[in-house]
Structure 1
Amino acid sequence: MIRIEFHFNTHERLLHTCRLLRKARSQNMRVAVVGAPVTLRQLDAELWRFQDVAFLAHCTSDSSPEVQSASPICLGPDPLAWGMKDVLVNLGDDVPSGFEGFQRLIEIVSSDDHGKAQARLRWKHYKSLGFDLVQHDLSKSTEP
């Protein structure tokens, strides 16, 4: 059964996402990231400048099919477009389509009121489907 995690209380949502993607890549996982187009553009830019000594290879839905098939991290509106099954990261407001096909779904909750309200709705939806959910309160994190 899919593992669903909610990461909340982060003040730097995109930076946390970059760290999470780096960790997933260190474990040779392929990751699909979904969210609003503006958020994905911001994440794309953040991934380019995230680390001075290493690059997190990634693509967007605008990349060529060759680049998409070779990329371990893909950013776009359709999580099923790349045939990935490892990890799905949701930066959006809605329940991502096809989330059930992944081994792990990570919901990165925005710290504003709208983001929290939408996350509560997604939480209730997953619970109503019978999923066990895991919470990660990032305000207690010691990660820089």
Structure 2
Amino acid sequence: MTQIFFYHGAADRIAAAAGLIAKAWAQRKPLVVYAPDPAVAGALDRALWTRNPLDFVPHVNAGSPLAGETPVIIADRLDELPQDERLMNLSGEVPPGFSRFTSVIEVVSEEPEVRQPARERFKFYKDRGYEVQALDLAGKA
């Protein structure tokens, strides 16, 4: 069954997501980032490009011809992806087909427009019997 991880209390959701993605890449763990909002996807892409050059994270959009060989994929849809191990959700909704992934990572900031939908997703997962772990990012980027 899919494991769900809620990283909450992020001062900056995009920076926190970029940090978690970099950590996954450092461990050579592939990851799909679900970001259907083009502004969020663009902000994440910029954040990954502007990190410390020694911490470069290879990433592409799902439509790229290199998606099959790139460890981090930023997707606006979750059909026809080359991997289904880890999914980071940067949308305001439960990702479609999330249960095919081994784990789902939710990154939540203190902003009410992010927090309230995250609470609803947390309840959704719990009510369906998924193992949900909450991890506090307060005081971290």
Give the TM-score, by structure 1 length.
0.89
The amino acid of 1:53's aligned partner reads L
Q: CA contact under 8 A between 1:79 and 1:88: conserved in structure 2?
A: no
The amino acid of 1:3's aligned partner reads Q
The aligned runs of 1:6-21 (5 Å cut-off) are 6-21=6-21
Taking the aligned partners of 1:62 and 1:12, their CA distance within structure 2 comes to 27
Question: Which residue number corresponds to residue 44 of structure 1?
Answer: 45
The amino acid of 1:34's aligned partner reads Y
How far apart are residue 62 of structure 1 and its match?
4.2
Taking the aligned partners of 2:5 and 2:53, their CA distance within structure 1 comes to 29
Cα RMSD for the two superposed structures: 1.5
How far apart are residue 46 of structure 1 and its match?
0.8
Identity %: 29
Higher share in strand: 2
The amino acid of 2:55's aligned partner reads A
The amino acid of 1:54's aligned partner reads D
Taking the aligned partners of 1:126 and 1:96, their CA distance within structure 2 comes to 11
Do residues 56 (structure 1) and 57 (structure 2) align? yes
Give the TM-score, by structure 2 length.
0.91
Q: Secondary structure at the match of 1:100?
A: helix
Q: CA contact under 8 A between 1:33 and 1:79: conserved in structure 2?
A: no
Structure 1 segments unaligned to the other structure (5+ residues): none
Question: How many pairs does the alignment contain?
Answer: 140
Taking the aligned partners of 1:80 and 1:19, their CA distance within structure 2 comes to 25
Please, which moves more after superposition, 86-95 or 107-116? 107-116
Question: Which residue number corresponds to residue 123 of structure 1?
Answer: 122
Taking the aligned partners of 1:102 and 1:134, their CA distance within structure 2 comes to 16
